[in-house]
Amino acid sequence: MNMSSNAYFWLVNFFILACELTPDFYKTTCPDLYRIVRSEVQKALKYEMRMGASLLRLHFHDFFVNGCDGSVLLDGGQDSEKFATPNLNYARGFEVIDTIKSSVERACSGVVSCADILAIAARDSVLLCTFFSVRLFNFSGTQAPDSTIETTMLSELQNLCLQNGDGNTTSVLDQGSVDLFVNHYFKNLLDGKGLLSSDQILFSSENATATTKPLVQFYSVNERVFFVEFAYAMIKMGNINPLTGYEGEIRRNCRVVN
């Protein structure tokens, strides 16, 4: 999914107001923080609308390793989080975070952490064929495609991701999405157009009937409820092991440790 600027800022403001961590932590030490971040994000959105979704996704990926610590922003070596397979080639928005960090440092040097900048600044992405090609030709050893894939999409993906290809071709995650943050993802699942098996299984598996299938159906027709509950879910994720007090460090450059 892409995210419009209005939907993006609605969600970010919701995160700030509802977060269990103190939303006014920088009220005295960096009072212009939110204005600075918003200004830089607005500039990025004017240049490329889907950057809002990319920043949100970057925030999401930061929590996969050791919780909220801004580790996904570190350059490191080829074995670093930034260059791990789920991030390599399609995690994006790092340069926007760099710009925000520079602006914040000019206003209040050594005060605001990179993890907090990423959280404040916080989906349309592309996926390598290698992540979903197993569904296209020999799913679960059946010598046939995944039967839950919609037939037209299956044909298009088979032409895009050749059976003996190198797996490096990319495809849009949310097929047929528009430049808005909406509930299109769930409508795709209803039509058998979830790109990843882990997505489509939410609607098409046997267990989905009693668990996730009703949620997919509900969110597909109740967009505003999805917005609210999505925000709550992001807040809950954002409280996974954040570094507080004297833990960690305030990096001068989000790409490297001090």
113 and 34 fall within a common domain? yes
81 is in an annotated binding site: yes
| The pLDDT of residue 239 | 75
Q: What is the pTM of this model?
A: 0.59
Alpha-carbon separation of residue 146 from 168, 210, 213, 253 (angstroms) = 21, 22, 18, 45
State which residues form the domain around 214.
Answer: 127-172+184-221
69 is in an annotated binding site: yes
CATH code of 136's domain: 1.10.420.10
Is-catalytic flag, 61?
yes
Q: Count the residues in the chain.
A: 258
| The pLDDT of residue 2 | 43
CATH code of 73's domain: 1.10.520.10
Catalytic residue (one of 59, 61, 92, 101): 61
Q: Does residue 107 lie in a domain region? A: yes
Q: Does residue 59 lie in a domain region? A: yes
- Cβ–Cβ under 8 Å, residues 187 and 220: yes
| The pLDDT of residue 178 | 56
- Cβ–Cβ under 8 Å, residues 101 and 253: yes
| The pLDDT of residue 77 | 65
Amino acid found at 92 = R
Q: How many domains does the chain have?
A: 2
Long-range CB contacts for residues 151-157, cutoff 8 Å, separation at least 24: 153/192, 153/193, 157/132
238 is in an annotated binding site: no
132 and 111 fall within a common domain? no
166 is in an annotated binding site: no
pLDDT by position in tens, the chain (length 258): 344 444 545 455 544 444 445 667 888 999 999 899 888 888 887 787 778 777 877 887 777 667 677 888 888 766 677 777 766 666 778 899 999 999 999 999 999 999 888 888 874 475 667 778 889 998 989 999 999 999 999 998 999 888 877 766 667 667 776 556 678 889 999 999 988 888 899 998 887 778 899 999 999 999 889 888 887 887 777 777 777 777 778 889 988 888
65 is in an annotated binding site: yes
